[in-house]
Amino acid sequence: MRGAEAQDELGPVELGLLTGGEAGAVDVLVAGLIADGVLRRTEPTAESPERWAATASSREPASGLEQEVRRVASGKGLYLWELTPHLLPAVEETKIALLSTGHLRPAGPPGSDRRQGTGGLPYPVPEPAGRRPVLAAAGVLAVLAAVVLAVDGAWVRAVLAVTVGGVVSAHRPADLAYRALPLPPVTAKGILAVERARARHAQLDPRSRPQTLPYTPWEARLGVALFGSLDRIHPRLRADRQAPLLYVDGPGE
């Protein structure tokens, strides 16, 4: 890897945010905590084996994030989906950084100031009040079509083409609203950064990487960010990250 490219490469959390949004960045953070030995899954014989607990360590936490995770996951531990709120502040900091570097574009409704002039392709959205003129135009066109069927002549078809254009233009709803399609949050710069990182670290792709070849903690983060290789970190990691579905009965049920 050339020095300039290595210097410009984004980190795993940034890449995870570009490839998977907030959930992708959280996956990278969780994978890193597990790869670093900060979190471990509780024993299968435990009361709640799906819980993850902070491991014992005599060293100082490497970051404020690790310190927070060790605090909330101490004792019996917690479910991984319960860990997400504690990781979102770090994700938000990453998002702000990517917005400032142009890898992400601001969120907001089409045409708003928050989009910084990045407009989408306009498409017409008819309002309900504009339906009657359209129906009237359709009736006129039906009559003209009947005339063509009754009188077969090139000059009739030519006159019809001109008339149809005039009818459609005259009866176009005045309140036809044009709205901008929202652009995706990742910019061209962000897409290029991901493509380059994937090409640079193709050896981390689990589809071609031998099962017996382990990931280092840094490779674990990159593998999850670029290729979604959660299963290589822990076979239960993907399932444990999903919050359970809650079913609420309606009235009278």
Query: Is a pLDDT exceeding 50 seen at residue 119?
Result: no
What's the rounded Cα separation, in Å, for the pair 172 and 74? 66
Confidence at residue 96, expressed as pLDDT on a 0 to 100 scale: 95
Query: Is a pLDDT exceeding 50 seen at residue 112?
Result: no
Query: Is a pLDDT exceeding 90 seen at residue 129?
Result: no
Confidence at residue 136, expressed as pLDDT on a 0 to 100 scale: 54
The string of pLDDT tens digits covering residues 180-219 is 556 679 999 999 999 999 999 999 999 999 999 999 999 9
Confidence at residue 44, expressed as pLDDT on a 0 to 100 scale: 72
Contact 39, 55 (CB under 8 A): yes
Query: Is a pLDDT exceeding 70 seen at residue 36?
Result: yes
The string of pLDDT tens digits covering residues 67-101 is 889 999 988 889 999 999 999 999 999 999 999 99
* 217 half-sphere exposure, CB direction, 13 A CA radius: 10
The region, left, alpha or beta by phi > 0 then psi within -120 to 50, assigned to residue 77 is left
What's the rounded Cα separation, in Å, for the pair 39 and 33? 6
The string of pLDDT tens digits covering residues 139-170 is 555 555 555 555 555 555 555 554 545 544 45
